[in-house]
Amino acid sequence: MKISLLGSSGKMGKSLIELAHNDPSVSITNALVRPDSIYLGKDVGEEHFNKRSGLTFCAFPDENFDIFIDFSTNNRLEEKIELYKKFGKSLLFCGTGLSKDEELKIKQLSSSFPVFYAPNTSLALNYLMNMAKKVSTSLDFSEIIIEEQHHKSKIDIPSGTAKEIAESLHIDANNILSKREGSLGNYHKIIFKNKNEEIQISHFGLSRKLYAEGAINIAKWFYQKPKNLYHMQTLIKEIYE
C-alpha cells in the first residue's frame, strides 16, 4: 500500500512515517507539506530521525500512490479538497477542529471516491463510545459529563472526539470540560451521575503511536473499498462484531 501523507512534517506525520518504515506492506511515496513550508525539498529522514532516507518533503504528489492519509492542520482546506478531487484516490481524513460545513465538504467527497472520516483513529476509544451509548440508553442518569485533556499545543477546544461523544449521547457541548497542559498523553472520560451512584468510562492515550497504528490499520482495510463514506463504526461492525 502506497501512501501520500499530508501533515508529514508534524508529530503525527513523524509517528506514521516511522511505523510505515518498519512495515514491509506499507510505503510513504509522497511526504506532503504546504508549498511555503520550511521543510519543502528537505530529506524526511534527516529532519525526523537524523538519518538520510532519500524521501524528500514535497508540495504535490506524483501519481504512484493508493491512498491519501491526512493528519495536517485545517489551513488551506479548500486547496486540499481540490487536491483530493484531482487524484480521486481513497482518502483517510484524520483532521480535527472542523466546522460543520467543513466536515460536510469532506464527507460529500465520498460520492466521487472512498472517504474514511476518522478524527480519532484509536479502536479502543471508539469502543468506549459504543459502551457509553449502551449505558446512556440502558440506565437512568440525570447528568452526563465529558472530561478531556490534551497536550498544551492542541488547538481545538474541546477536542473533536469529545464533541463526537457529546453528539452521540445527545448532550450539549457545554457539558464538556477541557484541559490543555503538558506535552504528551491525553484522556477522555465520560461520567454518568445520579443521586445514588456514578459510572466513569475512561480512555487514556499514552503515545501518538497508537493513532499512527490505527491509521495504518484503517488504511489497509479501507483503501481498496468502493466509493462510500466510512467511519470507525463501519470498520468495527464489519471486522469485530
Condensed to tens digits (0 to 9), the pLDDT of residues 203-216 reads 998 888 999 999 99
Q: What is the spatial distance between Cα 67 and Cα 23, in angstroms, rounded to a whole number?
A: 16
With a cut of 90, say whether residue 78 has pLDDT above it.
yes
Residue 233 pLDDT exceeds 70: yes
pTM for the complete prediction? 0.88
pLDDT band at 184 (very low <50, low <70, confident <90, very high): low
> What domains can you pick out in the chain, each with its CATH number?
2-117+209-233 (3.40.50.720), 123-205 (3.30.360.10)
pLDDT band of residue 185 (cuts 50, 70, 90) is: confident
Exposed/middle/buried for 219, CB within 10 Å: 0-12, 13-18, 19+?
buried
The CA distance from 95 to 240, in Å, is 25
Query: What pLDDT score does 200 carry?
Result: 95
Q: Phi/psi zone of residue 155: left (φ > 0), alpha (ψ -120 to 50 degrees), beta?
A: alpha
Percentage of the chain lying above the pLDDT 90 cut: 62
- Given a cut of 90, is residue 182 above it in pLDDT? no
Indicate if the pLDDT at residue 240 is higher than 90. Answer: no
Q: What is the pLDDT of residue 241?
A: 62
Mean pLDDT value of segment 1-17:
95
* Confidence (pLDDT) at 183: 66
Compute the average pLDDT of residues 152-173: 84
pLDDT tens, position by position, 80-114: 999 999 999 999 999 888 888 999 999 999 999 99
Q: Which long-range contacts link 104-111 to residues 24+ away (Cβ below 8 Å)?
A: 105/77, 105/81, 106/81, 107/229, 109/81, 109/84, 109/85, 110/227, 110/228, 110/229, 110/230, 111/227
Instruction: Look at residue 211 in the predicted model and tell me its pLDDT.
Output: 92
Question: Which has the closest alpha carbon to 95: 138, 166, 141, 155?
Answer: 155
Grade residue 188 by pLDDT with cuts at 50, 70 and 90. very high
Higher pLDDT, 126 or 2: 2
pLDDT band of 191, cuts 50, 70, 90: very high
CB 120 within 8 A of CB 211: yes
Higher pLDDT, 30 or 99: 30
Mean pLDDT over all residues of the chain?
91
Q: What is the pLDDT of residue 152?
A: 78
